Structure 1
């Protein structure tokens, strides 16, 4: 999925205003200007659209984890990954929202998307593992749709 789309979806799910989004970036030591944020939230076809690179997206997700769960005592804010994929984005959202397998499956069910525990587990395995499976855009899209229905209703 496109990072900008994920950023827009998360903003919609939790109904975050610009100031809150900027504070979330700040929690991961990333300075975000209001102008850049607004441009990243625009659709690709809109004038002024700015793509959200993997490092910026990772900073936001790390900030969201810190926002939702706090920073463990003695822990340092992680350096943002230079490359993201859907598996890592899904994993960071799961951590931020403190979701277990059953929570994720019920969230996917809200979006009328069925996934077994073993299929879900394969998405969170290390890439070299023999049962690792890449997370497709459809899974991530349905997960964010389910989160939207869970947090905002129909």
Structure 2
């Protein structure tokens, strides 16, 4: 699943307005205009059937969302939903982490949305059940683990898509 598609689905599921998208990106450390947000939220030709390909404009109106941009958005979403984190006494102020890890985008999505919306494992299982996906707590735990852990499991596109679908059902009705 493309990062642009993740942004589109997450925006719909959480009913985030364009102005809020700009603010969330800013909280994540990226300055972006409202026009650029609209370009990020444009679907590419790959999403449409080939028979309609001639009717669709070129991808000049689309900005590809890379992993760094998506991570900045998700970090901003955490700050937007939960407020800025207060540093503990004696702890130096650390900049938001932009990990250069090879962690799956889908795993990162699930972890950061879980934090942003203060979801428990049971909440996430309920959200997935809304999308008709059955998962055990231990399977979910494997997806939420740090990459490199012996029980780490990579999250597939279909699973991430169903999680976003379940979020939309839960938050949009």
**Same structural fold, with TM-score higher than 0.5 when normalized by the shorter chain:** yes
Deviation string for 1:7-45 (max 9, x for gaps)?
Answer: 001111122221110001111221011222111100112
Greater relative contact order (CA < 8 Å, ≥ 6 in sequence) = 2
Tell me the secondary structure at the aligned position of residue 78 of structure 1.
Answer: coil
2:64 pairs, out of 51, 57, 61, with 51
Distance 2:12 2:163 in 1: 14
- Structure 1 residue 150, shift from structure 2 partner: 0.2
Distance 1:28 1:122 in 2: 27
Tell me the secondary structure at the aligned position of residue 161 of structure 2.
Answer: helix
Alignment gaps of 5+ in structure 1:
none
**Partner of 1:40 in structure 2?**
40
- Structure 1 residue 82, shift from structure 2 partner: 4.0
- Aligned 8 A contact 1:30 1:59 in 2: yes
2:126 pairs, out of 106, 117, 122, with 106
- Aligned 8 A contact 2:131 2:163 in 1: yes
- Aligned 8 A contact 1:9 1:144 in 2: yes
Distance 2:135 2:125 in 1: 7
TM-score by length of 2: 0.83
- Aligned 8 A contact 2:14 2:167 in 1: no
TM-score by length of 1: 0.92
Aligned length: 153
RMSD: 1.5
2:140 pairs, out of 89, 105, 120, with 120
Distance 1:17 1:72 in 2: 24
Deviation string for 1:19-75 (max 9, x for gaps)?
Answer: 110001111221011222111100112531221011111110000000111122125
Structure ID, larger Rg: 2
- Aligned 8 A contact 1:28 1:77 in 2: no
**Partner of 2:90 in structure 1?**
none
1:69 pairs, out of 82, 89, 111, with 82
Distance 2:31 2:165 in 1: 29
- Aligned 8 A contact 1:3 1:54 in 2: yes
Alignment gaps of 5+ in structure 2:
46-56, 88-92
